[in-house]
Amino acid sequence: MADTPTLLTGETKAGDWRNYERVILPPIKDLHKIEVYEDHGGYDALRAVVKDGKFDPKGLTDEVKASGLRGRGGAGFSTGLKWSFMPPVDPEKPRYLCCNGDESEPGTFKDRQIFEYNPHLMIEGIVLACYAMTIKTCYLYIRGEYIDYVHHVQKAVDEAYAKGYVGKNVLGTDFSTDIVVHWGAGAYICGEETSLMNSLEGKRAYPRIKPPFPAQAGCWGMPTTINNVETLADVPLIVNRGAEWFASIGPEKHTGPVLYGISGHVNRPGVYEYPTGMLITDLLEIAGGARGGKRIKAVVPGGSSTPPLTWDMAEPATMDAETLREAGSSMGTAGLCFLDEDTDMVSFTRRIAHFYHHESCGQCTPCRDGTGWLEKLLTRIDEGEGYTRDLGLLLELCDQMEGRTVCALADAAAWPVRWGIRRFRDEFEAKCKAAAFAGASLGDGSALETGELTPTGTPTT
């Protein structure tokens, strides 16, 4: 490891971000209206590709690959590479694109801004992606809670149909594609790609075992690609300005503009668009600094499932996958939650555990039962009824959950607990009773109290 230079330099990798000009949400009034969008170069990328033949499908995939665009939904997988996994066209088999707008990760609220303020960019991206993979149907999956935004998006889709950008013979060419807006009904798990497909098919949204991967057998058993809303919104930008331009933004391995959703104890929360590789401290400054002049104690860099960082760890870190991995967390959805010095990390972790317990689909035992036990143990500690031994029990439980389930929900539930305990152990211990376990000696010859662990996790006294 000694030869690898550290990425945690404390210097920004976003270049001259103070003079950054927004591209996903450019400062244009009424950009959600199709006329305004067209006036500002909207659907030019689509025209150039589909009509004027700027790229053939393979060329477009290669261009996206060359841009270094990585999925914005959490996993950060190369988008161009994902597209290239689609098998060759078989006229017998329909192929599908799913645009994932389920956005249920706590701390994330960026896709909503695209639905509301620039839906046509996403629609253009969808049609381009369909062209690159020769797909005739795209399902746009939006979470059920966003019903108001579903209406906004549906309106935009209807406008795009009316103008011939979507539908039969796009812009008068042979290429046709349809967009179907689908909305969920309140299940976090639908953001997972295989459960999203089950949800679309009208089943209970249980994740599927991979392989087969969606590119082989996805929706209705047909080749399918699933991309995040923000990922697809980047595609027209790449076509218009070129892969080189895109690759020049942010650090080499994780390029492009990103919507940072900033929440928590800051003066000016909200969604900000900047390049990748922003220093977390710069993002705090942008968001108006800590509320009430407090000191920031911890930051969750990318939604609830990314491990929380202490402020010391976060200070030299920038917002890109490689650096955050070295810092001990991950990029996730770039939804940052800042926590000030008064935050109770035990209650905070307990609330995350409650979320995952509520949202576990119940398909795999380690997750269904594990998330419940995490919550019970954390509740007990939070209420002052826990013992220091419970912390070891929690870590052991995390071992039993990670990597033992069909999807990554169990991992996502275990990480914040594991790293919360590792990084804020003092706070957890301070809330535990002095004894290691019920009835243990305190060292001065007295037993704290009698009691046994029961299956419900409540000590009987």
Check residue 146 for interaction with other proteins (CB under 8 A): yes
203, 209 Cβ separation under 8 angstroms: no
- Work out how close the CB of 353 gets to other proteins at its nearest, in angstroms, rounded to a whole number: 11
Stretch that binds other proteins, among 59-67, 340-348, 392-400, 417-425 (CB under 8 A): 340-348
Stretch that binds other proteins, among 43-51, 108-116, 242-250, 394-402 (CB under 8 A): 108-116
H/E stretch holding 376 reads helix 365-382
Choose, by CB under 8 A, the member of 235, 337, 398, 409 that binds other proteins: 337
* Inter-CA distances, 195 with 74, 135, 206, 220, 226, Å: 16, 21, 5, 12, 11
- Work out how close the CB of 275 gets to other proteins at its nearest, in angstroms, rounded to a whole number: 14
Residue 104 or 231 having the CB closest to other proteins: 104
- Work out how close the CB of 82 gets to other proteins at its nearest, in angstroms, rounded to a whole number: 23
Neighbouring-strand partners of residue 395: none
Check residue 385 for interaction with other proteins (CB under 8 A): no
CA gap 181, 140 in Å, rounded? 5
CB atoms under 10 Å from CB of 85, counted, come to 13
Binding mask 9-48 for other proteins (x = CB under 8 A): -------------x--x-xxxxxxx---------------
Pairing between β-strand 178-183 and β-strand 296-300 as defined by DSSP bridges = unpaired
Within positions 316 to 335, which residues make up the interface with other proteins, using CB under 8 A? Answer: 335
CA gap 162, 176 in Å, rounded? 14
- Work out how close the CB of 427 gets to other proteins at its nearest, in angstroms, rounded to a whole number: 13
- Work out how close the CB of 186 gets to other proteins at its nearest, in angstroms, rounded to a whole number: 4
Torsion region of 22: left, alpha or beta (phi above 0 gives left; psi -120 to 50 gives alpha): beta
H/E stretch holding 216 reads none
Residue 68 or 269 having the CB closest to other proteins: 269
Choose, by CB under 8 A, the member of 79, 281, 304, 330 that binds other proteins: 304
- Work out how close the CB of 64 gets to other proteins at its nearest, in angstroms, rounded to a whole number: 26
Choose, by CB under 8 A, the member of 94, 164, 167, 242 that binds other proteins: 94
332, 70 Cβ separation under 8 angstroms: no
CA gap 334, 428 in Å, rounded? 27
Within positions 262 to 301, which residues make up the interface with other proteins, using CB under 8 A? Answer: 262-273, 287-288, 291-292, 300
